């Protein structure tokens, strides 16, 4: 019986703490989300291009070595 009561109070305490922490979150506005999303997409595209170029150069080098 004591264990059940302890588990229930632990869950209640956890839930109360979770709600308190959730209220501390500062959510970004739409413009911030849009700017950050745009930055991530642009950086991803640029990195993809760089990786592709490096891959092509390595492949060219391997082809030259094998021929």
Mean pLDDT of successive 10-residue stretches along the chain, which has 67 residues: 62 90 94 98 98 98 92
Cα–Cα distance for residue pair 48/41, rounded to 1 Å: 10
pLDDT value of residue 9 = 78
pLDDT value of residue 67 = 83
Q: Spell out the domain ranges in the chain.
A: 2-66
Cα–Cα distance for residue pair 55/48, rounded to 1 Å: 10
pLDDT value of residue 5 = 57
pTM for this entry: 0.62
């Amino acid at each position: 019986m004591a264990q059940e009561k302890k588990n229930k109070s632990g869950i209640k305490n956890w839930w109360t703490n979770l709600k308190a922490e959730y209220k501390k979150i500062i959510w970004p506005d739409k413009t911030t989300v849009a700017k950050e999303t745009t930055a991530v997409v642009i950086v991803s595209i640029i990195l993809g291009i760089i990786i592709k170029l490096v891959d092509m150069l390595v492949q060219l080098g391997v082809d030259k070595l094998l021929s």
